[in-house]
Structure 1
Amino acid sequence: MRAVGPVVVGVDGSTSAQRAARWAAREAGRRKAPLDVVHASLWPVVRTPGGWLVQGGHQALRDAANAVLAEAVATCRAEEPSVEVRGHLVTASPTAVLIDRSREARLVVVGSRGLGGFTGLMVGSVGVALASAGHCPVVVVRTGADATASLTEGAPAEGPVMVGVDLSPLSDAAVDFALRAATDRNVPLLAVHAWHNPVDSDFLTHLLTADVGWDEQRHRAEQALLDRLVRWREEYPEVPVEVRVVPERPARALLTTAGSEHAQLLVLGARGRGSVTGMLLGSTSHAALHHAPCPVAVVRNPVG
C-alpha cells in the first residue's frame, strides 16, 4: 500500500463534491498527509507561443472555475485546519487528470454525482474509470442520506469498516486498507464473504461434496475466512474483527449488510489494469458504487 504522496480529491462545485472534499480533508488529517484539491475542465482554448490561453469571452469560465476551486479549498481548510491544502486548476479531461494524479497519490476521492468540470460524474463515468484504471485506492463518497449523515455535521461515524473478501490473495490489498481505516477510526472491522451459487466457489464446491449441513458449511467457511485474515490480525491486534459468511448474491449481501450494520466505509478489492475481480465483479461493483449507504473504497491489488 502506498505510504507516501497526497490525498487527492476531485471537485466541481456540486454538493456531492463538497461532501467528498470534507471526507477527503478528514482522511488526510488521519493520515497526516497533504490534500490536493483538483478542479479539471475543458474550455475552448488556443495555443500561443506562451502556452494555452482561454479564448476571448471565455475568461468568465476560468473565473468561475477558480471560484469553485477556492470554495473547495476553503471548505477543506475549515474542515481540517491541520492539513496542508493545495488547490490545482487544470484544463484537461477530469478522468485523465485524476487517473494521472493517482500515480503519485495515496488515495483519490470523488463524489458520486457531479456537474460543471465533472459533468456526468454518476459513478458510471469518472468514478468507475478511476476504480478500474487508477493506480491507488479510490473512494467514491456516496450522496444518500445515510451515506452523508455523518458528513453534514462533521461528527465521526460509529459503525464498522466493512470489507468484501473472496478467500483468495486478490483481497489482500483491500483487507490491509480496511484494517488501516478501522485503526485510524478506532472501530471494528467486519469482513464479509458472500456467494450466490456455491458451485462457483472452489472452497464451497468442496464443502458440497461433504455430508454436512448448512450450519457446518457456514462454520467451515467462516473458519476459512478467519484463516485468511490471520496475517493482518497479527499486524493490527488492536482492531476487533468479525467475520460473516452470507449465502446471497455479493451485491445484495454487501449492500444489505453495510446498511444494517451502519458501516462507515465499504472496501472492495480489484486487480489488474481495467480488470475487476472477487467482490467487484461487473454488476457487483456498479451496485456498490451506485447504491451503497456509505462511502465505497476500491483498492487495487498491486500483484494483479
Structure 2
Amino acid sequence: MSVSAIVGYDGSRRASAAIDSGAALFPAAHGWITHLWTPPFADATIRRRLLSRARDANELTEMVEREGRREAERLVAMGVTLARAAGWDAEPLLKKTLGAEGLSIARSAEELHADLVLVGSRGLGGTRALLGSVSDMVVHYSAKPVVVVPYPMLAAEYDALNGGPVVVGWDGSAGAETAIAATAHLFPDREVLPVCVDEGFTPPEAPANVGGREVLRCNSQRSPALHGRGIADALVTAANAHDAAAVVVGSRGRSATREILLGSVAMATLHHCHRPVMVVPSRSEAPIDE
C-alpha cells in the first residue's frame, strides 16, 4: 500500500531529518513537500537591497513578494530533492499564508486527501520540551494522523525506523480503537504492539488481545495526579524495550473530560518521546481497502 503524506518543510535540519525518517517509516510514499510562504516574504538582507531600488511602497511590496516567492520555490525544491533521493514520489506544495501555518498544513492534508501529516519538532528534553509552534498547531487541528519526528535522534533510534515494531497506547477507549485501526492501515507490514498502562487498576475495557494482537501491560510509576506523564513514560519505556520504530497515541483517551485541546497522554508523549510519535485524532478514519 502506498501512503500519501503532507510534509511540513522549512529548510531546517530538523525538517530534513523528518523527511529522512518519514522515508524509512513509509517507504515509496507520495509526499507533498509543503512550504508555507509567510510575511515578510523575503530575507531581511534582500529587503534592504530592494529598498534602495523601489520607487515607492507599492513597487517595494511587489519586488519583495517576487523575490520572496523565488526564494521559497528554491527552498521547497530542496525538500523535494531530499525526498526523492530517499525514495519518495515527491512534489512541491508552496502556499502563501498570512499566519496560522499549522492550520494551513492541516487543511492541505484534507484538501489533498493525504493519509497523514509529517512534521519535525524542536526536540528539547525535560521540562523544557516544547514542540515548534507550527508542529503544535498541526497536531491540535489536523483531522488526519500526524507523525511528529524528534530531532536529534540516536543512531539506534534511527536504525529502528526501518523495521521496528509500532507501539500503540491502548486503554479500551474509542480513541484507542481508532489509533489501532490507523496504525494497522498505515503500517501494514509492521508488528503492532498494543500497550495498556496500569495506573493501579486494570481497565475493564482492555481485553487480553486486540484484533489478534496480545496487549502488553505495564505499570505507571507516577501518581494519578500526573496521569498523562505517567502513561507517556510507560509507553516510552515499552518503545525502548522493544526497539520500536514509532509510538502511536489517540488524541484523547479515557480522561477526555479533564483535558482541553489535546489529551494529556498525547501531549506528554510528544514532549518526552525520542522516537517518532503519531497522534491519531478521534475523528480520523482508516480507509477500508477494497
The alignment's TM-score, normalised by the length of structure 2, stands at 0.72
2:34 to 17, 38, 60: 38
The offset of 1:175, in angstroms, is 0.7
1:107 is matched with 116
CA distance in 2, matches of 1:141, 1:40: 19
CA contact (8 A) 2:6 2:114 kept: yes
CA distance in 2, matches of 1:269, 1:56: 46
In the alignment, residue 180 of structure 1 is paired with which amino acid?
A: H
CA distance in 1, matches of 2:246, 2:268: 15
Change (3 A) 1:299 1:265: same
2:208 is matched with 226
SS at match of 1:145: coil
Residues 1:194 and 2:197 aligned together = yes
Residues 1:74 and 2:98 aligned together = no
The offset of 1:38, in angstroms, is 0.4
Gaps of 5+ in 2: 42-59, 124-128, 221-229, 286-290
CA distance in 2, matches of 1:19, 1:180: 24
Number of aligned residues: 246
CA distance in 2, matches of 1:197, 1:252: 15
CA distance in 1, matches of 2:108, 2:138: 11
CA contact (8 A) 1:194 1:247 kept: yes
CA distance in 2, matches of 1:108, 1:303: 12
The offset of 1:57, in angstroms, is 4.0
In the alignment, residue 68 of structure 2 is paired with which amino acid?
A: L
2:9 to 8, 11, 21: 11
Percent sequence identity is 30
The offset of 1:267, in angstroms, is 0.6
1:88 is matched with 93
1:137 is matched with 145
In the alignment, residue 138 of structure 1 is paired with which amino acid?
A: V
The offset of 1:131, in angstroms, is 2.0
SS at match of 2:207: helix
Task: Tell me the alpha carbon deviations over residues 154-178 of structure 1, each in whole angstroms, 9 at most, x when there is no partner.
Answer: x853432100001123211111222
The RMSD of aligned alpha carbons is 3.4
1:270 is matched with 251
The offset of 1:285, in angstroms, is 2.1
In the alignment, residue 33 of structure 2 is paired with which amino acid?
A: V
In the TM superposition, what are the counterparts of 1:261-300 in structure 2 within 5 Å? 261-270=242-251, 282-300=263-281
The offset of 1:66, in angstroms, is 1.9
The alignment's TM-score, normalised by the length of structure 1, stands at 0.69
Change (3 A) 1:97 1:111: same
Task: Tell me the alpha carbon deviations over residues 99-125 of structure 1, each in whole angstroms, 9 at most, x when there is no partner.
Answer: 1112121111000139xxxxxx95252
